[in-house]
């Protein structure tokens, strides 16, 4: 019986591993020059925030893109950030215009998991005059489409994990009944 309890515990731990969320700590260094920041970023664009959704440990920001210098093909894009400076989240507001320097952290998930933090050169359009001057003219025509959302990809493991636990419980109860008889 003790062996079964140990096996059952290990199985629950193994099945719950995919539910683990990724966490990144905030540690900023001096911001790089515009040319370096553009080179290091996966996407650089100017846009107006259309919507902000707070979800678990992140904010999902939907942005209407007005001009892009790198990595943006659609007129609407989503960027993920934290809630505040403690978790490196951007201090943003719906309706605000910002110059974003974003990085793709898809890590094998759906492509386009763009993130931006206070550790990037992302700033309000009003504070981005020097960056915009150095970047020059960007692309202003985009494909009309809704942004993809790779938020909560860990949920794809939820139902299989629950199903696995139910199967294990069923097998354990069957074994215990069999031993009693």
If you write DSSP's letter for every residue of the chain in order, what string do you get?
Answer: -HHHHHHHHHHHHHHHGGGPPP-------PPPPHHHHHHH-SEEEEEEEEEEEEETTEEEEEEEEEEEEES--BSEEEEEE-SSGGGT-----TT-EEEEEEEE--TTSSS--EE--TTSS-EEGGG-HHHHHHH-S-B---B--PPP--TTGGGGGHHHHHHHHHHHHHHHHHHHHHHH-
Over the chain (181 residues), what is each successive 10-residue block's mean pLDDT? Answer: 68 60 64 93 94 87 94 90 81 93 76 82 94 93 64 52 73 82 72
pTM: 0.65
How many residues comprise the chain?
181
pLDDT of residue 143: 83
In this structure, is the dihedral angle defined by the CA atoms of residues 169, 170, 173 and 176, taken in order, positive or negative? negative
Region 31-150: CATH code? 2.40.50.120
pLDDT of residue 12: 66
Six-digit token pair at 115?
Answer: 């993130």
In this structure, is the dihedral angle defined by the CA atoms of residues 114, 96, 69 and 126, taken in order, positive or negative? negative
Measured distance CA(181)–CA(177) in Å, rounded:
6
Measured distance CA(148)–CA(15) in Å, rounded:
27
pLDDT of residue 108: 60
pLDDT of residue 151: 44
pLDDT of residue 97: 95
Q: CA 7 → CA 14, 74, 117, 168, distances in Å? A: 11, 49, 42, 10
């Amino acid at each position: 019986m003790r062996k079964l309890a140990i096996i059952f515990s290990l199985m629950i731990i193994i099945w719950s591993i995919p539910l683990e969320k990724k966490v990144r700590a905030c540690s900023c260094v001096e911001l790089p020059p515009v040319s370096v920041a553009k080179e290091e970023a996966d996407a650089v664009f100017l846009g107006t925030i259309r919507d902000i959704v707070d979800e678990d440990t992140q904010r999902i920001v939907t942005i209407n893109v007005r001009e892009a210098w790198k990595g943006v093909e659609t007129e609407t894009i989503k960027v993920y950030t934290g809630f505040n400076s403690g978790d490196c989240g951007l201090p943003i507001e719906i309706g605000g215009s910002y110059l974003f320097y974003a990085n793709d952290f898809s890590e094998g998930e759906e492509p386009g998991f763009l993130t931006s933090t206070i550790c990037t050169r992302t700033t309000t359009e009003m504070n981005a005059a020097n960056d915009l001057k150095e970047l020059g003219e960007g692309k202003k025509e985009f494909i009309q489409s809704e942004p993809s959302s790779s938020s909560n990809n860990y949920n794809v493991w939820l139902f299989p994990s629950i199903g696995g636990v139910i199967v294990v419980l069923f097998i354990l109860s069957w074994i215990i009944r069999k031993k009693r008889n």
